[in-house]
Amino acid sequence: MPLLDRNGTKIDAWTRSEGSGVDNLSQALVPWEALTEALQQKTRDQRIGVVIPNNIRIAELKLVLRQLSLIAVSFPAYSDGRGFSLAKLIRNHGFTGTLRASGPLIADQFAYALACGFDEIELPEASAARQPVEQWLKAAGQISHGYQRGYGDSHNILDQRRTARAAGRLAAS
């Protein structure tokens, strides 16, 4: 599956393990169900990542956040936006590792995914074939500011308007 970030395509350095077996893997990506056992087997130099469903409760996940280097949030469909909310919660709970969206997203969602805290997107082959990398990169640059606070940069439109009004009142007085 193709992997891309804000700079374009990239090589996936992580090895997927279908179970909890992480022997001889420097960077192992395991399913949520196998995470506990994989963390018990982990050696000091190993990095562990986990693939999670987009409906997992943050209370369950936050217990292991500090032990993870990568979290891949599964998107079953591009129309299922729960992964965006989950990404924001994961970042708000202090996760500083790599956050990956995994599933059939569309290029129009790229800027929002980055703003929610995702570092990269892993696409199914069919999705990547429909929308080339250039389309994703163009879409990422289409939105420079959002209305919500706390996404991406702190220059949301509402705060900019509030600052401009305050500056206008100060200049008038």
Whether the predicted pLDDT of 153 surpasses 60: no
Q: What is the pLDDT of residue 96?
A: 93
Locate 67 and state its tokens. 């032990």
Residue 70 to residue 34: CA distance in whole angstroms:
15
Q: What is the pLDDT of residue 148?
A: 63
> What tens digit of pLDDT does each residue of 75-100 get?
999 888 899 999 999 999 999 999 99
Q: What is the pLDDT of residue 167?
A: 81
Rounded mean pLDDT of the chain?
Answer: 86
Whether the predicted pLDDT of 154 surpasses 80: no
The pLDDT of 12-24, averaged and rounded, is 77
